[in-house]
Structure 1
Amino acid sequence: MNNTFVTLFWRRRLLTQAVARLEGLGFRVVHLAAGKWTTEQDMHRAIAAALHFPEYYGNNLDALNDCLGDVACYGGYDDAVEGAGLVLSFTDYDRFAAACPKAAQAVLDIIADEARRAAVLQRRFFVLVHSNNPDIRFEPVGAMPVMWNSDEWADSNRG
């Protein structure tokens, strides 16, 4: 997670360990089951509910960018304690990426952009992305590549 705001995981065990370490450091982790998202609207509903977006949330990518910016940079819409920072943990993201490839890429790009903005304000925000597909690839996000975690970086470690 040192090199990018969006980090891929194939082995759930490694994702679980990373989440536990982050929670131990005081990060607030929000878990999202992306494998249940078969449409872009499913994704919008799940993220909006998990992060307590306002009722006027527009359920589109521009609105997601705006509301994630509020969450990442200013603490968001709920009274949950943020602690050391905020982490989104997506599981089964490959299923959403197969169903809605453009939206899946755009979500990661939005998160990377907002995470960079948050960092400028000395706030921590990033996403851990689990995929059942060890060969999944994404275009660079936030002008940064989407990279595998350090334990699974080499292709041979995912086979």
Structure 2
Amino acid sequence: MAAFDPADELGHDLDLRLLTNTSVTLFWRTAILDRTTAWLSAHGYQVTRIDAAHWTTERDLHRDIAAALDFPHYYGHNLDALNDCMRDVVSQGYGWASDTTGLALVFQGYDSFAARCPRAAQSVLDIVADQSRRAALLGRRLICLVHSNDPRIRFEPVGATPVMWNEAEWLDSRRRAD
């Protein structure tokens, strides 16, 4: 089963455009992120927002992701355990309702966490990208939207694909304060 039906007219679908080059997309302007999540919600996606702005340690990351995705009580609170539990989320064991079009994970204020814990921040995005690829193999859609208050933030490629800016803020000139 394909994640998208090739018989459909897909050129105008935002979700396909988000997933074409990478499953992890950066956002600077909140209004653009809000329009994107509204579109995804209107098209049947489960939108799960996780506020990363206040994370000061990896412990904070694990606590909030576990709560947002209803991880089991035995969750190990480390990156290997996160990868294991995300595999279960993709299998829709928990954290992702099976009657939805897909799952959109939204990390808000991620630049704050990335500044405090850069290795963990990069690893989380890599795990989500890898699990998004796994989801696609099962005919499912997992999208990660990352909000940053820093318009110049950059990440190394994740899941062998780059973390890219959304189409409205693609150009650096579109991420300047007005």
Superposed pair shares fold, TM > 0.5:
yes
Q: Is the 8 A contact 1:35 1:93 kept in 2?
A: yes
Determine the structure 2 residue equivalent to 1:13: 31
2:52·2:113 contact (CA, 8 Å) conserved in 1?
yes
Unaligned runs of 5+ in 1: none
Number of equivalent positions? 158
Once the two structures are TM-superposed, the CA of residue 102 in structure 1 deviates from its matched residue by 0.3
User: 5 Å matches for 1:94-133?
Assistant: 94-133=111-150
Matched, 1:66 2:90: no
Deviates most, 96-105 or 76-85: 76-85
Specify which of 158, 161, 175 is matched with residue 141 of structure 1: 158
> Which whole-Å CA distance do the structure 2 matches of 1:79 and 1:131 have between them?
24
> How much is the aligned-residue C-alpha RMSD, in angstroms?
1.1
Look up the SS of the partner of 2:76 in the other structure: coil
TM-score by length of 1: 0.96
User: Which residue identity is paired with 1:137?
Assistant: R
Contact in 1 for aligned 2:89/2:95 (Cα 8 Å): no
**Structure 2 length-normalised TM:** 0.86
Greater C-alpha Rg: 2
CA contact (8 A) 1:75 1:82 kept: no
Picking from 44, 53, 67, the partner of 1:26 is 44
Runs of 4+ that moved beyond 6 A: none
Preserved contact between residue 69 and residue 96 of structure 2 (Cα < 8 Å)? no
Structure 2 gap ranges (5+): 1-17
Cα distance in 2 between the residues matched to 1:63 and 1:126: 20
Equivalent position SS for 2:105: strand
Cα offset, 1:36, TM superposition: 1.3
Are the aligned partners of 1:84 and 1:124 in contact in 2 as well (CA < 8 Å)? yes
Do 1:9 and 1:131's aligned partners in 2 also have CA atoms closer than 8 Å? yes
CA drift of 1:76 comes to: 3.0
Distance in 1 (alpha carbons) for counterparts of 2:128 and 2:164: 14
